[in-house]
Structure formats: C-alpha cells, structure tokens
Amino acid sequence: MIDYEKELNEEQCHVVLEAGGPMLVLAGAGSGKTRTLTYRVARLVETGIKPERILLATFTNKAARSMLNRVRELVPVDLSRLSGGTFHHNGHFMLRAHAERLGYTRSFSILDTEDARQLISTCVVEAGIDTKGATFPKANVLYGILSLAVNTAADLSTTVAERYPFFSHRLEDIRKVAALYDLRKRQSDFMDFDDLLLNWRRLLLECPDVLQHYAERFEHILVDEYQDTNRIQAEIMDLLASRHRNIMVVGDDSQSIYAFRGANFANIMSFPEKYPDCRIFKLETNYRSTPEILHLANLSIENNENQFAKSLRAVREAGLRPVVVPARNALQQAEFVAQRILELHRDGIPLHEMAILYRAHFHAMDVQMELTRRGIPYEIRSGIRFFEQAHIKDVTAYLRILGNPLDELAWKRIFGLCPKIGKKTAEKLWQFLSESGEPLEAALREDFLKVVSKTARGGLAFFQEVLIKLREEAVHASTLPDLISLIIERGYRKYLRETYTDTASREEDLEQLAEFSGKFSSLEDFLSELSLMTNMDADGRDKAAGDDLQENKVILSTVHQAKGLEWSVVLLVGCAEGMIPLERAVQEAGGEEEERRLFYVAATRAKDYLYLCYPQTDYSRWAGFANLSPSRFIRELVPSSRKKELPFEHWVVEEQW
C-alpha cells in the first residue's frame, strides 16, 4: 500500500484520497499537478477500480505515458486497458468501434494536416473559385479558418469577421470550399483532426446506446490542463461523466492563455455551475520559486476579477527580490540582458538554466543580435530566429537584389513568390538574367516575361512593377524603412494574408524590421548586419565563438511556449505598455486579463532570479521618438498590507551596458 500522507503534501493528499464525485482541482504553478494526477490514478487502481474503467484525457500522449509509467511503478498492475491519451487519441478509439453509426467504415482514413491542405486545394479548383483577382486564402489558411471555427464553436461568418476580416468579401466562396471539403471527406471515408472531436461528440449525442455504454464503462474520468480545453472537448467529457459523475478536472485558471487557438476560459470558470455539488481543491504550495517571486506573481494576478481566488505559498527559503530594469531603448535593454547572462554564468549558473521570455517574436530581435555579437549561444523555443523567418527573408530578398543584382538566391526566392512559378521556371528566369550581364536591367525588359508561360506572366509582370518602383525610390535616396514599406504595400501584404494564418503577428514583425532598418546609414550596412546574424551553425552557435559558453545555451521563448517549463533565471523583456500587454490583444474581450495571465505565467517560470526589463523610448518613422511607460502590470504592483515595500527593486543600467 502506498503511504499517501508520506508521499504527498496535505493539499495533494486531500485530492488523491477523495472518494469521488465532481472535483475541480485548481493547481497553481509549480504545485505538483502531475504528481497529484498520477497518485490519484494509482489510488483508484489500488482501491479496486479496474483500469479499463478509468479515462485519462491529456493534451499530449507523452504526458499520459509519463503518468501511466509512474503509476506502474507505484501499483504493479496491467494498465494496458486504461484509456489514457489526448482527446483525439481517445476519440479515435471510440470512433473506430462505431464508425458505421455515423456513415463511415471502421477503416476510415485520418487526414494529417498536409493531406487536409491538399484536399482543400483540390476543392478550391473543383468549386471554380477565382483566385487570381481579389485576395483569396491559400489552402493552409483555409484549413486554419475552418479549424478555428470548429475549435471555437463559431460559425464561419463570425470566424472570418473577427479573425480574418480582410477575407470578408470572399465569405461565400469560403463557404463553398468548406461545404465541398466536407462532402469530399465523407465520400472518401476521411476524417481530419477536427472531425475526430466533432464526430466523437456527434456519436455520443446521436447514438444514446453508445453514450450509455461508455458513460457506464468510465467510472472515473480525469482531465488534465482543463483550462486549455475548448467547448467541444468539455462537452464530450460532460457526456461521458453523465452516469457516474466522477469527473476530476485539473487546471489553473491563472494560466489560461490559449484563447487564440480555441481554448475556452469559461470551461474552468463555469465548472462549479455545471456541477453544483463539486468539491473545489486548491494546490497552492509551490515547490519551484522563491517567496519573493511568488509574492510578485500573487500581487499581479490578484488584479484579475474573473478568477478563483488563490495564493501560491513557497516551500523554499527567502531569496532575492525580482528586479525591474528600465533601459534607455531596446538596444540598451539587449546589452543589459547579455551582460547579466554573462555575469550569472560566471557565478556558476549554466546557460541552459537561463531563459529570455517575450510576448511577441519581434520583441527579441535586438536581444538575438546582441547575443550573437557576444558569442553567447542560444536556442529559440518559439520558432526560428527572427531574421531567418520566411516573411523576413522574403522582404529582405528584394533589398538584396538592389544591393547585389548578382544575388542568385535572392532572385530565385522572389520568383518563388510569384504565382505559377516553380523551381524549374525560377531556374530558367535566373539563367536569362545571368546571361544578360546586367540582371537588374534585364528583369525590367519586356522579353523577360516571355521566359515563362502565359499563365505565369501576370504574377511576373506585377513583380516587374514593384521592382521598377523600388529602384526608383532607391535612386531617389528613399530611406530603408520606406523601401521595406513599399515592398509590403505593393503586393507582399496580400501574399501574407493569402499564405499564413498568423498574418497579424507577421505584419508586426515586418513593421519592426522596417523600424530596425532605420538604424543603418546604408543598405550595405543593413544587409551586412543581417548576414552576420545568420552566420551560425545549425545548432545556433556563433561560428566564431569557441569558449566554454558553447557547452549549453540560453533559451529564448515566447511566454506561450514557456508554459509548463522552469528556469533558474528568467529575463522578461519588453515589459512596456503596448508590448506587455500587447496593444492589439487588450482590444479584444477579456484581453487585458488574459495578458495579465501571460505576465503571471512568465513570472512563475523563474526559480531564483526574475528580471523585468523594458525600453523607455521607442522610435517610429511615423511618430519619431516616443517615451514608453512601464507595463500596467508593473505599475499596479503596489505594496501589500503584509509587506510594506515594493515587491521588486529598481536597477539603473550603467551606461557601459
């Protein structure tokens, strides 16, 4: 028998030993959520609940496997019949058994994302949609629109109007494609990932005997990360729990930060309303952070009105107060961050125990450059390096042509952006230009268009027009920001919207690129700097660096990507109003509170050191130099009734930094 009182703290023990019924477990950051879930499953098995009568729903199969492996160590029983895995995994299991009830065969195929996009492309052609005229989304964007509508339980018109307003004029065409896509899937016995959830719910609603069978079978249901569930996932769990009502959901409303991908914050907040007899447990004992860091985090999240009241308590001994670091500008902020990392590393903290977090990818642009200059190796967990992103490289390819008309790779990259031009045609175009001796001049000639087929000439002609205008502006000594803006406005913005689902963030990246380019006196200097930024090995290390710093790497990540992780040192950059919270995010319903939850998540990633950094000035070619104020999330951190001093100290950045 497991000695639960010895293995668990009092809060965890209450959860694990509870007999049953609806349970809402509010598991604060670093409070041992996974441990509690694991021991709960072990307890159920130990008390005689057969594994096949337990359903464990997680967001990754890895998390489920980890928990079940630990359960096997605690209770040596066969868990092969326990249903544990992602929502999609569990839904797939039931749909295979009952597919005929929904008009599918049991051998239905599952479309992965790439397969789904290809089928949508086929549907666009079959529907006779005109994609040459007004802006129309490409297949991957269409897939994103349809998926978002499913996961937010919204109709297409609402999804397009709120998230993709620049496609509102093509709504009826999008509807046609969506209807044909659904028809083709049914005809071909296909389900995509979203269908696994939709059809799972449909199966339970339309087939009472199936619902009765599984509702009877699953005596206990456990749901991890409940704050991240969407409406469909929550409805499915409620249906399955309708017989025994032994449903335990575990999550933290203070860490609900994924509304943009369909997570429904109302699920966790309304759980006590759906289950009036539910017991609410709070895991507030934090094993990760110092009391000082938790004090700041608690003070911050208290400002959210829509939440369950809770306060994290530290197990660890007192440490240092978090530090607020105002810098003169983004460059000085980056210099401080790099210098502080070097100092902490000299004090014995490994680089991999340090993380630089940010709200948006472009907030780390100057930081990436400064780390590169100093030979500090880093790994980006939020995607690829800023200057290596596709949309950044697309736009800078135009500038590279101006700077060096013999840049074959830049030419071919731009040709690839033109409709109906593939790699072979791009090669022919480059051969034509290279043989001319004057590629830039040759690209403006009428016979240049004759290299490609008639169907491809329209896109190439448009490129010519952009190139002509770009050259004229360059000759007239237009600024680099103006040149970049011209590229964006003369066609690339349309390409962005048709090609990517995250258009808003990519447009912000390009705006920041334009602003950044204004720091350079010449195109040559700007392009040289970009080249130096990408002069790295595949693992992200500076080729010139060769000291012991190469043994590990500083982590760079958005706050979203950092959830669930922890580091000894966290440096949160861009803690200025308009950055954290992000200006466009607070304009949405519930936006400010979700942004505050992001700030809370960032703060609670830190174990020992927390630095909140922000630039005091910013430059915009539209408004010139502007003063920035510290984030409202910093300004609202006033002394509490218990502690009269500020929950942080201020540092003044030395000028040599």
Annotated binding site: 27-34
* Residue 605 bears catalytic tag: yes
* Residue 159 bears catalytic tag: no
Give the C-alpha distances (Å, rounded to integers) separating 375 from 510, 541, 553, 556, 653: 26, 8, 11, 15, 22
* Residue 328 bears catalytic tag: no
The token pair at 643 is 């502690």
Which one-letter amino acid corresponds to residue 484?
Answer: I
- Radius of gyration over alpha carbons of the chain, in Å? 28
Catalytic option among 7, 18, 34, 445: 34
3-state class of 609 per DSSP? strand
DSSP one-letter code for 22: -
**CA 606, CA 650: separation in Å to the nearest integer?**
18
Catalytic option among 86, 152, 229, 255: 255
**CA 237, CA 359: separation in Å to the nearest integer?**
32
Helices (H), 534-590: 559-562
Catalytic option among 225, 228, 498, 509: 225
* Residue 243 bears catalytic tag: no
Cβ-proximal residues to 569 (8 Å cutoff; 6+ apart), any chain:
341, 344, 349, 353, 354, 355, 606, 608, 609, 610, 611
* Residue 225 bears catalytic tag: yes
Give the C-alpha distances (Å, rounded to integers) separating 367 from 329, 341, 380, 486, 525: 12, 12, 12, 27, 19
Q: Could you give phi then psi for residue 559, rounded to 5 degrees?
A: -65, -35
Give the C-alpha distances (Å, rounded to integers) separating 502 from 32, 244, 418, 494, 509: 34, 42, 21, 13, 11
* Residue 173 bears catalytic tag: no
Distance, CA of 530 to chain centre: 25
DSSP one-letter code for 575: -
3-state class of 617 per DSSP? strand
DSSP one-letter code for 349: -
State the binding site for ATP: 27-34
Cα dihedral angle (180, 184, 187, 189), rounded to 10 degrees? -140
Which one-letter amino acid corresponds to residue 592?
Answer: E
| For the chain, counts of helices (H) and of strands (E) | 29, 19
Cα dihedral angle (533, 330, 380, 356), rounded to 10 degrees? 140
DSSP one-letter code for 404: -
The residue ranges of DSSP E strands in 540-627, in sequence order, are 554-558, 567-572, 606-615, 617-620, 624-627
DSSP result, 223-285: ESSGGG--HHHHHHHHHHTTTT--EEEEE-GGG---GGGT--THHHHSHHHH-TT-EEEEE-E
Residue 421 contacts residue 460 (beta carbons within 8 Å)? yes
Catalytic option among 33, 43, 138, 163: 33
Residue 474 contacts residue 112 (beta carbons within 8 Å)? no
**CA 556, CA 562: separation in Å to the nearest integer?**
9
**CA 145, CA 162: separation in Å to the nearest integer?**
11
Q: How many CB atoms lie within 10 A of CB 37?
A: 27
| Active site members | 33-34, 224-225, 255, 605
